[in-house]
Structure 1
Amino acid sequence: MPSREDITYFGAGPALLPTDVLNTAAAALVDYNGTGLGLAEHSHRSELATGIVNKAKADLATYLDVPDDYEILFMQAGGSGEFSATVYNLVGVWVERRKQKILKELGIKTEKDIPEDELVKQLQKAVDEELKIDYLVTGSWSLKASQEATRLVGAEHVNIVADARKVNDGKFGKIPEESSWKLSKNPAMVYYCDNETVDGVEFPGFPELLKPNGEEGEPIVVADMSSNILSRRILVKNFSVIFFGAQKNLGSTGITVVIIKKNLLPPVVATPSPTLLRKLGLPIGPIVLSYETIAKNNSLYNTLSIFDVFIAGQVLQKSLKSFPDKVDGQQAVAEKKAKLIYAALDAHPESYKVVPDKSARSRMNICFRVTHLANIDDAEKLFLKGAVEKGLTGLKGHRSVGGIRASNYNSIPLSGAEKLAEYINEFTKTHR
């Protein structure tokens, strides 16, 4: 049986974790800091747990240069849970802001000065005619996000800004030109997935069309960065909400991180009452997906997995020690690894086909097909078998699309990328 040192695991998630972090976590699981109890046994209400949460938040803010007017939340339910949470929370923000606009237009100071039925009538008209949630559909995850919004609020309130399949023969693999995007006027949010793990598509940078337009809080941009967070520099102030599951670049499965602008939380903006939302026919989210509730309780409203936060914190501490220039240093390594692997694939066009267009190639999830045999399935089985023999594992593509996928997350060492590039070159020579 191979040892941990014998393999490089390119799985898409849960992903490889640094061995030294796992060794530290393993010891903490048995006895944390000489307390006689393992970390998973300590109360999430303890001072110890609060310290772990606060340290991880501070280190994440340092590593990414998160401004002071943002809050960091540790939540549960994964990125898929955030497909729902963003709808629940930001539709609520939209309703509250629209209510305040109605009161201002009527010259009324507070909602107590207008009959409730009249206010509900005005709001209902606004919801029916104006409420939109915008989605850029560039891959499997953004498609699922838009489908969840449709399930929660109805297709009439969901606007597909762009669908990449329409510019790529019915398949994902490109990002439509911004000139073709059809944004709504003042949507509750504009969502996009910065990196699509299934389809190997990554935005090369922040979209020009979504940059702040000078009006306070506009547009409200939500980004799913589950699979490329911590791998490159981002300008946090361009976003209203960033969310990501921990299990790619940050830690282990079990926690989801939300970075949210504080002007989307009380006391800056109130949360509509459940009674009002019911009257408007809008969904009311579970309280554990309420950003207000999680923020008020410093991420400890319910039993958070402190052990998983600890692992994430250890990864952040290691990253800060490894890269004095913070995320910029990690970005340089990520790009070097990706270039090595893509260069090997591009050198043999007769044997490999990179799936996404060159303009949208992901640095994190390198998706390709092995084409040098008449039967692609046979060629890919042969490729995968040879890869495992060399200690290169986790390369099988997502079940929905097949092919090969090398997930080049932060914990993949440069030597691992070099080994894969060497194998790509070797395979095409030995299997003609």
Structure 2
Amino acid sequence: MPTRQDVINFAAGPAGMATDVVEEYAKDFVNFQNLGMGVGEISHRSKEGTGIVNRTEQTLRKMYGLPDNFRILFMQGGGTEQFAAVLYNVYAHHALYNPNAKELVANYIVTGSWSKKALNEAQRLGFRCHVACDTRDLTGKYGCLPKESDLNYTPAGQTSLVYWCDNETIHGVEFNEPPPNIPKGAIRVCDASSNFISRRIDFSKHDIIFAGAQKNAGPAGITMVFVRDFILERALVPDLHKLGIPVSTTMGDYKLMADSNSLYNTLPIPTLHAINLGLQYMEKKGGLPFLEQCSSKKSHMVYTVLDKYPIYENFVDSSARSRMNVTFRIINQDLENEFLVGAEKLHMMQLKGHRSIGGIRVSLYNAITVEQTERLVQYLEKFGAEHST
């Protein structure tokens, strides 16, 4: 039976966690702070529970150098819940100043499955939507980023928000910087779920950032939302009804979550504690500069060997290649299956691509070390050399 040291977990999420963090969490799950109770047994409103909330926020603020005019919310429902939450909250904010807010248009930049899902949810909920660019319309597939000339926003004054997914986990496409020329007055919304805590962020170019924890931060169950203070200013519910603007669910209301310190209902404190342990561990390793350097190094190692051998097919433009999720195909299905079987024999697990597109997906989240990446590269080299002759 393999040990944790033997196995490399390349899962796209829930992803692997550092063994040091898992072991520390295991102790706290049995007996937290010598209370004689595990962290899963304490009240979210207790001194210890609120302490975990406050410490996690402080750790995130320190890591990112987060400006004081941003609030941090810990929410539930995953990134998928945020597809709707951002709309309700943004339109409630616009309605405070604009009686015609209902007519504003949500703009979506579609670069893969997750931004497409966000657009679909907005359309399902009845919001006015506009596709500023769908890169599949440009090339017939998802594998590139839009050029500045490809972006066709609705005009300033008519645009409620501009939404993009910073890293498309399924297709392996990652933005290098936020989209340019966003219309003045539009709220800039970024889904950073799968590259969160992997590089520094220019907060002057963002208004809302959300990220599920289960990629780089810890176990699934909590979504972290960074939101500018001014967005919490919004029209009252009766006024929203009069204007015909949908009202957020209670659990999706940013202001309610901010006013209650994310503790309006029972927050999964054990999950948040695991996240904070992971954040503190990463801070000790060198924080975001170190993580950014490592992620670039790991992905470069993998892309270099993929480009070396013709049996590997990567369909993502070099300028759009993700540091987090390296996606590729092998020239025929039999070889692809052989590759996956061989990888599992070497305890390299969960390399199969997403069910919607197949292929291979190598997820290089923070818990994957450079040394583990080298093991994969050695296998890619050996397999490529054997089957390219």
Whether these two folds match at TM > 0.5 is: yes
Task: Give 1:6 shift.
Answer: 0.5
Counterpart in 2 of 1:45? 45
User: Which amino acid in 2 is paired with 1:176?
Assistant: P
Q: Determine whether 1:353 maps to 2:313.
A: yes
Report matched runs for 1:227-376 at 5 Å: 227-265=194-232, 269-273=233-237, 275-323=238-286, 326-348=287-309, 350-371=310-331, 376=332
Task: Give 1:237 shift.
Answer: 2.3
Task: Give 1:281 shift.
Answer: 3.2
Task: Give 1:97 shift.
Answer: 1.9
User: Which amino acid in 2 is paired with 1:21?
Assistant: V
User: Which amino acid in 1 is paired with 2:62?
Assistant: T
Counterpart in 2 of 1:133? 106
Cα separation, 1, equivalents of 2:178 and 2:153 = 16
Counterpart in 2 of 1:107? none
Counterpart in 1 of 2:180? 208
Task: Give 1:153 shift.
Answer: 2.2
User: Which amino acid in 2 is paired with 1:238?
Assistant: K
Cα separation, 2, equivalents of 1:377 and 1:180 = 35
Q: Which has the larger radius of gyration?
A: 1
Deviation per residue, 1:307-333 (Å, 9 max, x gap): 11101111111111110xx31111011
What secondary structure is seen at the aligned counterpart in 2 of 1:244? strand
- 1:194 corresponds, among 145, 166, 179, to 166
The runs of 5 or more residues in structure 2 that have no matched partner are none
Cα separation, 2, equivalents of 1:251 and 1:33 = 20
Deviation per residue, 1:60-103 (Å, 9 max, x gap): 0111111011100100000000001001111111111203xxxx
What secondary structure is seen at the aligned counterpart in 2 of 1:208? coil
- Any conservation in 2 of the 1:153–1:282 contact (CA below 8 Å)? no
Counterpart in 1 of 2:145? 175
Cα separation, 2, equivalents of 1:82 and 1:296 = 18
Report the TM-score, using the length of structure 1 for normalisation. Answer: 0.87
Cα separation, 2, equivalents of 1:144 and 1:39 = 35
Cα separation, 2, equivalents of 1:329 and 1:38 = 32
User: Could you tell which deviates more after superposition, 185-194 or 362-371?
Assistant: 185-194
Cα separation, 2, equivalents of 1:204 and 1:340 = 18
What secondary structure is seen at the aligned counterpart in 1 of 2:125? helix
How much identity, in percent, do the aligned residues show? Answer: 41
Cα separation, 2, equivalents of 1:272 and 1:339 = 50
- 2:131 corresponds, among 135, 157, 160, to 160
User: Which amino acid in 2 is paired with 1:167?
Assistant: L
Deviation per residue, 1:124-174 (Å, 9 max, x gap): xx63xx4101110000000000010111124xx1011100101112x2111
Deviation per residue, 1:253-290 (Å, 9 max, x gap): 0000000001111xxx23331x3333433322210110
User: Could you tell which deviates more after superposition, 351-360 or 75-84?
Assistant: 351-360
- Any conservation in 2 of the 1:195–1:203 contact (CA below 8 Å)? yes
What secondary structure is seen at the aligned counterpart in 1 of 2:136? helix
Cα separation, 2, equivalents of 1:146 and 1:133 = 9
Q: Determine whether 1:24 maps to 2:24.
A: yes
* RMSD value, Cα: 1.3
Counterpart in 1 of 2:73? 73
User: Which amino acid in 2 is paired with 1:396?
Assistant: K
- Any conservation in 1 of the 2:94–2:234 contact (CA below 8 Å)? no
User: Which amino acid in 1 is paired with 2:386?
Assistant: T
Aligned residues: 386
Cα separation, 2, equivalents of 1:166 and 1:272 = 40
Cα separation, 1, equivalents of 2:97 and 2:49 = 36
Deviation per residue, 1:216-248 (Å, 9 max, x gap): xx3310000000011111112211100000000
Task: Give 1:197 shift.
Answer: 0.1
What secondary structure is seen at the aligned counterpart in 1 of 2:327? strand
Q: Determine whether 1:403 maps to 2:385.
A: no
Task: Give 1:390 shift.
Answer: 1.2
Report the TM-score, using the length of structure 2 for normalisation. Answer: 0.97
Counterpart in 2 of 1:415? 371
Counterpart in 2 of 1:380? 336
What secondary structure is seen at the aligned counterpart in 2 of 1:416? helix
Q: Determine whether 1:61 maps to 2:61.
A: yes
User: Which amino acid in 2 is paired with 1:182?
Assistant: N
Q: Determine whether 1:86 maps to 2:86.
A: yes
User: Which amino acid in 1 is paired with 2:221?
Assistant: G
